Amino acid sequence: MLKDQSKFFDKLITDELSTYFNKKWDYTRTFEINQIIKSIDAPAIKKVIDIGCGCGFHDQLLAQRLSNLSELQGIDYSEESIKAANKLYPHPKVKRFKADFNEITDNTFDLVVSFQVIEHLEDSETLIQKAYSMLKPGGFLAVATPNYARIQNRMLSLRNRKPVYSDPMHFREFCLKELKDLGCNAGFTVHNVFGYGFTFILPKLNKNIVPYKLGTHLGAFFPNVSDVICVVFRKETCVG
């Protein structure tokens, strides 16, 4: 397992850039943004940071959808990802740069987002704690990550087989309760929860029998067993 995966993603987005153009990915990434915007006080969001912005799709879409946005920062530890994001998904309100999230000292963000990043970190608690310090009181954090308790892993358990990670580059995958607890331990309250994706592979056929778009929305109804979970946390304002 690589502790520093920046070179891995540098190579991935350079050598396999075509794999980032995927209509299914676009559908689910758009679904994520739509769900988050419905979950928060969108008109109040003026300043956003995306931790681990990757190819930049989420950044551009957020910038388009948040009507009062003044600035969105996208950071990633992969320099090649930053270059690709600026080329593929530019937006005048989006500024991207290579950085480790621990280097960010700004504490005036209204929204922090992180899409499928936390599972790549050896110290997952640090990301949540740092996000808390970045936010203004009343601000939101949205964290999306593969669900360790997804239906496929539950089926493996029923067959007395060990659940598996969805990617060998993951340090840890979370179930919904674990992700909630991680945020609450850092001082957040849980504001909303959603999931997406519902993969049901018949063992003998080795084929997913749930159509992709249907599975996306089934996961939203059953987040505990969805393929991906997202928790929207809030940093509460002080009272009194």
Contacts of 152 (CB under 8 A, 6+ apart): 199, 200, 201
CB 109 within 8 A of CB 119: no
pLDDT at residue 199, as a whole number: 87
Whether 202 has a pLDDT exceeding 80, the answer reads: no
Average the pLDDT over 194-223 and give the result: 86
Whether 1 has a pLDDT exceeding 70, the answer reads: no
Does 1 reside within a domain?
Answer: no
Does 92 reside within a domain?
Answer: yes
Neighbours of 181 (CB within 10 A): 13
The answer to whether the pTM exceeds 0.85 is yes
- Kind of pairing, strands 109-115 and 94-98? unpaired
Q: Which structural domain range is residue 227 located in?
A: 6-234
Average the pLDDT over 86-94 and give the result: 96
CA distance readout (Å), 119 to 26, 172, 174, 226: 21, 5, 8, 16
- DSSP type of residue 223: G
> Where is mean pLDDT largest: 4-8, 39-43, 234-238?
39-43
Does 127 reside within a domain?
Answer: yes
Helix orientation angle between 23-39 and 57-65, rounded to the nearest 10 degrees:
40
Does 240 reside within a domain?
Answer: no
CATH number at residue 210: 3.40.50.150
Helix orientation angle between 176-185 and 124-134, rounded to the nearest 10 degrees:
50
Average the pLDDT over 56-76 and give the result: 97
> Where is mean pLDDT largest: 7-11, 173-177, 212-216?
173-177
Does 239 reside within a domain?
Answer: no
> Could you write out the DSSP letters of every residue in 126-164?
HHHHHHHHHEEEEEEEEEEEEBTT-HHHHHHHHTT----
Does 116 reside within a domain?
Answer: yes
E strand spans, 12-58: 47-51
Number of domains in the chain: 1
E strand spans, 147-238: 189-196, 201-202, 207-208, 228-234
CB 143 within 8 A of CB 231: yes
Whether 154 has a pLDDT exceeding 90, the answer reads: yes
